[in-house]
Structure 1
Amino acid sequence: MSDLHLTMAINHYDHVQDLASGRVKPEGIDLTVINHGPEEIFHRFLFGFEWQISEISMGMSTSRLSMGNAPFVLIPIFPSRVFRHSSIYMMNNGPVKTPDDLKGKRIGIPEWGQTAGIYTRGWMVHTAGVGLNEVKWFQSGINEPGRQEASTLNLPEDVSLTVITDRSLTQMLFDKDLDCVFSARPPKEFLEGDPRIIQMYPDFRSAEEEYFKETGIFPIMHTVAVRKDVFEKNPWVAQNLMTAFEDAKALSYARMSGYTVSHYPVPWLYHDGLRENQKLFKGDFWPYGIEPNKTTLTAFLEFAWEQGTIHKKLSIEDLFPEEVRHHYKL
Structure 2
Amino acid sequence: MLDLTKPSASAAGQPRPADGRDGSLLPMTLAIADYDRTRMLVDGRVKPAGIDLAVTVGSIPEFCLVPVYEQYDVAEMSLSWYLMAHCRDEPVVALPVFPLRMPVHAYMYCRADAPYTDPRELVGKRIGTKRYRSTINVWLRGILKDFYGIVPSDFHWITPAQEGGGFVIPPDVQVTLKPGEMSDIEDMLFAGEIDALFTPVLPEAVLRGDRRIRRLFPDSRAESRAYSRRTGFLPMTHTIVMSKRLVEREPWTARSIADAVVESQRRWVSFAHADPKHLTACEAVYTLEDERAAYGPDPWAHGLEANRAALETFIRYANEQGYIDRRPAPEEIFAAGTLDV
Structure 1 and Structure 2 fold alike (TM over 0.5): yes
Distance between the aligned counterparts of 2:251 and 2:150, measured in 1? 44
User: C-alpha separation between the residues in 2 aligned to 1:104 and 1:41?
Assistant: 32
Q: Secondary structure at the match of 2:148?
A: coil
Amino acid of the structure 1 residue aligned with 2:332: D
After superposition, give the CA deviation of every residue in 1:141-200 in whole Å (9 maximum; x if it has no partner): xxxxxx221222244332212222257222222332211111112332232222222211
Partner SS state of residue 312, structure 2: helix
Q: Secondary structure at the match of 1:137?
A: strand
Residue pairs, 1:157-306, within 5 angstroms: 157-165=171-179, 168-259=184-275, 262-267=277-282, 269=284, 271-273=286-288, 275-306=289-320
**Partner of residue 37, structure 2:** 15
Residue 86 of structure 1 aligns with which residue? 106
Question: How far has the Cα of 1:268 moved from its partner?
Answer: 5.2
Per the alignment, residue 122 of structure 1 pairs with 142
Q: Name 1:3's counterpart in structure 2.
A: 25
Q: What is aligned with 1:50?
A: 71
- The TM-score with structure 1 as length reference comes to 0.89
In structure 2, what is the Cα distance between the partners aligned to 1:196 and 1:267?
26
Is the Cα contact below 8 Å between 1:257 and 1:270 reproduced in 2? no
Query: C-alpha deviations, 1:271-295, integer Å up to 9, x for none?
Result: 522x443333333221000101111
When residues 43 and 131 of structure 1 are mapped into structure 2, their CA distance, relative to the original with a 3 A threshold, is closer
Match of 2:85 among 52, 58, 64: 64
> CA offsets per residue over residues 200-243 of structure 1, 9 Å max, x none?
13532222111111222311011001112211110111111122
Unmatched tracts of structure 2, length 5 or more: 1-21
Residue 21 of structure 1: how far off its partner (Å):
2.2
Displacement of 1:42 in angstroms is 4.8
C-alpha separation between the residues in 1 aligned to 2:281 and 2:180?
42
Alignment of 1:134-149 (within 5 A): 134-140=154-160, 147-149=161-163
- Between the aligned partners of 1:226 and 1:166, the Cα distance in structure 2 is 32
TM-score (norm 2): 0.86
Q: Is the 8 A contact 1:154 1:310 kept in 2?
A: no
Partners of 2:69 and 2:243 within 8 A in 1: no
2:93 to 65, 68, 73: 73
For 1:307, the equivalent position in structure 2 comes to 321
Unaligned runs of 5+ in 1: 141-146
Distance verdict in 2 for CA 1:265–1:113, change over 3 Å:
same
Following the alignment from structure 2 to structure 1, what is the Cα–Cα distance between the partners of residues 277 and 180? 48
Paired residues of 2:94 and 2:239 also in contact (CA < 8 A): yes
Contact 1:87 1:199 in 2 (8 A): yes
- After superposition, give the CA deviation of every residue in 1:127-148 in whole Å (9 maximum; x if it has no partner): 12212222111212xxxxxx22
Q: Could you tell me whether the CA contact under 8 Å between 1:277 and 1:285 is conserved in 2? A: no
What is the Cα-based RMSD across aligned positions, in Å?
A: 2.1
Q: Which residue in 2 is equivalent to 1:143?
A: none
Query: 2:153 maps to what in 1?
Result: 133
When structure 1 is superposed on structure 2, of 195-204 and 226-235 the one drifting more is: 195-204
